[in-house]
Amino acid sequence: MGKVVINVPDGPPAHPFLSAAVRAGDFVYVSGHAGLLPNRPPSGSGASWLPGETIAGGIEAETRQALESVKQALEAAGATLADVVKVNTFLRDPDRDFHAYNKVYMEFFPAEPPARTSVGAKIYGNLLVEIECVAYAPLGRNAAG
């Protein structure tokens, strides 16, 4: 099996320059997701371009929405959060936001969490967090994994 682009119906805004997720054999690669509301189109142009509408509520709300979008992409690819082996998180201000982000993150990965890297980064526009991951989800397994 080669590369399969995964579409996420009713997920975060789609963009022509990236795929929400890609399955390559038993691995699922999920693109960076931010705290963007589903089904809201990009707006603006140039320096004022935004990839979609950001959820209100700060770092906790953005983290929760980003992880819900990651979860949707995984499910569309036949995987779950339990299959995630690596997470990369980009925080606009890790000194301010790490603990609040981590509190929400632990709700999604309460036991046997994946390997993770969390770094400070200049994220596009006013986004506070972006989260990407890799999952190992063998093809042909039953739903219980």
Domain edges within the chain: 3-136
Does this model's pTM top 0.75? My answer is yes
Q: What's the whole-number mean pLDDT along residues 101-111?
A: 97
pLDDT band (50, 70, 90) for residue 144: very low
Where helices occur in 1-145 by DSSP H, the ranges are 58-76, 94-108
Q: Which CATH number fits domain 3-136: 3.30.1330.40, 3.40.50.720, 3.30.2310.20, 3.40.50.300?
A: 3.30.1330.40
The answer to whether 71 touches 81, Cβ cutoff 8 Å, is yes
Spell out the residues 6+ positions from residue 57 whose beta carbon is closer than 8 angstroms to its own: none
pLDDT at 105: 98
Burial class (CB in 10 A: 0-12, 13-18, 19+), 46: exposed
Predicted confidence at residue 1, as pLDDT, reads 67
The residue to which tokens 């995984």 are assigned: 74
Tell me what pLDDT residue 3 has: 92
pLDDT level of residue 46 (50, 70, 90 thresholds): confident
